[in-house]
Structure 1
Amino acid sequence: MAAAELDLVNRDPNSINDHLQCKFEDVFAEPDGTHSIDCVWKLAYTCFNCWKGLCYRISTLLCGMCIAAEWGCEFAYISFFHIWFFTPCFKMLDINCGALKRLYGQCVNCCIEPCCMACGLVFHQFKK
């Protein structure tokens, strides 16, 4: 995806991290009858959101590009092995198993089928 195509608004278009929704209301809640002073509640809300956003941004600034580079390398390795190793191995197995399937079919037709036919003819003679 080119930088011109990068969506800077919707950064999770496939909703793969919906489970990480974590807002102040998901963490803190005061039931009826147990309320802190309003200014404390408002400041706690502000502090939570500020520090959550700040720590996330600092972490991504310090580590995000290196981690993204590592994952890019990992997925490049996976693609490399699938393209140059696994897919050719599976193709080779398909070819060889096809030949073995024909060989097995020939053996069954030549060796086992006549015996089964003879047994079938013996039992065919029994009538009710």
Structure 2
Amino acid sequence: MVNQSGSPYLWVVKSPISSAVALKRETYNLHVIADHCEDKTRALAYPYVRSVIETPRFIYLDPSHPTHDAVRYIDLIFLPEMQHIQALVVIVERDKEPNEVATWMVKTNLKQEMVQGGIIYDSRANNQ
């Protein structure tokens, strides 16, 4: 889906587990970028966020949300500016329709990515 004039969303896409996931302009401008202006990888990763939601490697419950109203989408991306393959983790809140992107982060190490509630979606398992 493409952003309509006057819409609060930059874009809306379909994910493998929900009807729609959206990125709000306000979330992008005021939280993802402004609150993390020292982290240039967030802006560099923006072109990949939609595809990670549409075709993630894994989706799992966000352990920092005990009520499980949020999930994490994850896949590997290559940022030419950084010269290595990194993980892009996108946090999506499921308590709204459409579901909304809360934030994302680029990670070089996945040791902190705890999967306490189990995997909701595994792209390889779902394609067999």
TM-score between the two structures when normalised by the length of structure 2: 0.20
Structure number with greater Rg is 1
Structure that is richer in strand per residue: 2
Greater RCO (Cα-Cα under 8 Å, separation 6 or more): 2
